[in-house]
Amino acid sequence: PLVSMKEMLEEAKAGGYAVGQFNLNNLEFTQAILQAAEEEQSPVILGVSEGAARYMGGFYTVVNIVEALMADYGVTVPVAIHLDHGSSFEKCVEAMYAGFTSVMIDGSHYPLEENIALTKKVVDVAHTLGVSVEAELGRIGGQEDDLVVEEADAMYAIPAECDQLVRETGVDCFAPALGSVHGPYKGEPNLGFDRMEEIGRTTGVPLVLHGGTGIPTHDIQKAISLGTAKINVNTENQIASAKAVREVLAEKPDMYDPRKYLGPARDAIKETVIGKMREFGSSNKA
């Protein structure tokens, strides 16, 4: 069923595992992620950036595709449709109105008080509708669609500010920027685990780790042990999908039926997602 993230993340935190947020890019991504979740009997969060929603048609299109696939596939595991890095109050409301069960309001580029005021405004509407809310503090480096943060502007979240934001807004989960990056890493990631421990302990809410592509397993496990209950992955699925298409088309340059190269891409995404679900510990937790 379609649900908010609230319960699945609280259960994950209590159970010592994390639920993956896998971003949608097109129909094949949506199919692959839902198939993986059902096969693994894992709860799942479908992340939708504003750019991806625009590409697919709009918020309604996304919700309708997800609902139709869930019915056709007979999906029984909990699924959340989540607006990723929502840029404004208006966009969050639009997504909720279209049927999203969860939203992120990303006010991380605003001064603290403004971020809190904006986040609180979204929470007030969302909670009236049973929709869950994620907020962010600090700045996650790298690029995801419209969101570009230069290396020099990436910032680690400050624990006291995180505590204040969570307390004053009532968000359901929280993403402190602690050195993770959108897109591939240059070298090994350097995650701020001391701050993660403190933020997890003082805020008490499930933490979210963005930029899940390229984080080594021991860091994933450490993050989970410190209260991380949601891990976002997009680039790794995009790389797997592009690789599959390249391979098929290189081998058969005369191929033109999209099903014959997008089908293998879909299989590659599904395999990648299944691997992540096992790594995060969410398999058989539905």
Tell me which of ligand G3H, Zn ion, none is bound by residue 213, counting a contact when its beta carbon lies within the kind-specific cut-off of 5 to 8 angstroms.
ligand G3H
Please identify, using beta-carbon distances, which residue of 3 and 83 lies nearer to ligand G3H: 83
- Name the token pair of 54: 């625009």
Instruction: Please report whether residue 230 would count as binding Zn ion according to CB under 5 A.
Output: no
Cβ-based nearer residue to Zn ion, 210 or 285: 210
Nearer to ligand G3H, 148 or 255 (CB): 148
72, 84, 106, 219: which one is catalytic? Answer: 84
Nearer to ligand G3H, 48 or 66 (CB): 48
CA angle 214/274/246 to nearest 5° reads: 65
Q: In the bound complex, what is the minimum distance in angstroms from residue 136's beta carbon to Zn ion? A: 8
Is residue 23 within the footprint of ligand G3H (CB under 6 A)?
A: yes
Dump the DSSP string for the chain. -B--SHHHHHHHHHHT--EEEEE--SHHHHHHHHHHHHHHT--EEEEEEHHHHHHHT-HHHHHHHHHHHHHHHT--S-EEEEEEEE-SHHHHHHHHHHT-SEEEE--TTS-HHHHHHHHHHHHHHHHHTT-EEEEEESB-EEEETTEEE-GGG-BPPPHHHHHHHHHHH--SEEEE-SS-EES--SSS----HHHHHHHHHHH-SPEEE---TT--HHHHHHHHHTTEEEEEE-HHHHHHHHHHHHHHHHH-TT---HHHHHHHHHHHHHHHHHHHHHHHT-TT--
Tokens (6 digits) for 33:
């992620």
Stretch 199-218: interaction string toward ligand G3H, x if CB under 6 A: -----------xxxx-----
Q: Write down the residue that tokens 């979204």 correspond to.
A: 122
Q: How far is the CB of 71 from ligand G3H (least distance, A)?
A: 27
Which among ligand G3H, Zn ion, none contacts residue 159 (Cβ within 5 to 8 A by kind)? none
* Residue 102 found at the interface with ligand G3H (CB under 6 A): no
Clarify whether 84 is annotated catalytic.
yes
234 binds ligand G3H, rule: CB under 6 A: yes
- Residue with tokens 């006010």, as numbered in its chain: 107
Binding of residue 276 to ligand G3H (CB under 6 A): no
List the single partner that 35 binds among Zn ion, ligand G3H, none, CB under 5 to 8 Å by kind.
none
Binding mask 177-216 for Zn ion (x = CB under 5 A): ---------------------------------x------
Residue 47 interacts, among ligand G3H, Zn ion, none and using kind-specific CB cut-offs from 5 to 8 Å, with ligand G3H
Q: Which residues have a catalytic role annotated?
A: 84
What does the binding site for Zn ion look like in residue numbers (CB under 5 A)?
210
Question: What residues make contact with ligand G3H under the rule CB under 6 A?
Answer: 23, 47, 84-85, 144, 182-183, 210-213, 232-236
